[in-house]
A = this chain, B = another copy of it.
Amino acid sequence: MKFEAEKKVVVEAPGTIANLVCGFDVLGLCLHTPHDTMELKLIEEKKVIIRSSDKYSLPTEPSQNTAGAPLLEILQEVDAAFGFELLIHKNIMPGSGLGSSAASAAGAVVAANHLLGNIFNKNDQVRFAMSGEKVATGVKHADNVAPCIFGGITLIRSIFPLDIISIPAPQLYVTVIHPQIEVKTSDARQILRKEVLLKDAIRQWGNIAGLVAGLMKNDYELIGRSLEDVIIEPIRSILIPGFDEVKKNCKNAGALGGGISGSGPSIFMLSKSRETAEAIEKEMQMIYQRIGLAHYTYVTTLNMDGVKILNQA
């Protein structure tokens, strides 16, 4: 593929919630807020330049960068006679459990695909973005990049071969609190048991089946009843101070349900209305103020579109 002219695009790459309660490792959800903004342009030289406007000191060596690695792969794939220059404005904090690395990877891929004339389908785009996740976490997983690219709620039925299913869903409000503690994904994974009780697994697959049916039937009550995780949450929530109280008080305040976002430390709750979502935000803030832990909160909605093309030149 030849370099034709200097083209540029700006995209908004949203945060995502992986490990959606009973959907550990398979269900993810796309948010409107927080989101990164990224500016990608074609350059004449075949290379990838990463620039970053944030304070997080992420690696800018392309092969070590979550956005850089997939861009290098794309250049390879299209046998390019040009390169990419990417400027990242990061708002999704790394380590928040809100898909920060996925947003970088997915945003870069969607932007590149746009500049190349939309030559890749969404599954291909997820595949490229997964190499970004590999840089960030050591594993090619799609839990965050799939909802980031497809929007809405996605099911990763299988990774090899990749099988991504969009799950239709009704309007949902999402309240997120990000307490300022560090939970390493590797720690969060290490404390999980390799074996689980069959009876717990049965309860979990009853719940995920109920959740998918509830989402597709617009049945909020059923969604609420199905938002139960008897396998991962009881173990991982130990790493998040205040988790049980947040969950209990938010459900009392009208939340349908919720849980740990990704591998934490962020906690999210789903609601039917903005009023409830805002009441829940106050409950969360009160608890962490009392605990004395700094935190950020977001009240947002399910983002049906995923990475958004803002403008181009």
Contacts and interface: CB of A to CB of B under 8 A. Distances in A.
A155 B206 contact: yes
A2 interface: no
A209 B207 CA distance: 9
A22 interface: yes
A205 B158 CA distance: 11
Nearest to A24: B202
A209 B155 contact: yes
Counted per complex, copies of this chain come to 2
A231 to B, nearest CB: 7
A290 interface: no
A156 interface: yes
Interface residues of A, number: 41
Interface in A276-309: none
Interface in A210-268: 210-214, 216-217, 222, 225-226, 231
Interface stretch (A70-78, A80-88, A177-185, A193-201): A193-201
A50 interface: no
A217 B212 CA distance: 11
Contact of A216 (B203, B205, B213): B213
A162 to B, nearest CB: 12
A27 interface: yes
Of A25, A199, A202, A214, most buried by chain B (CB within 10 Å of CB) is A202
Interface of A: 22-27, 155-158, 163, 165, 167, 192-199, 201-214, 216-217, 222, 225-226, 231
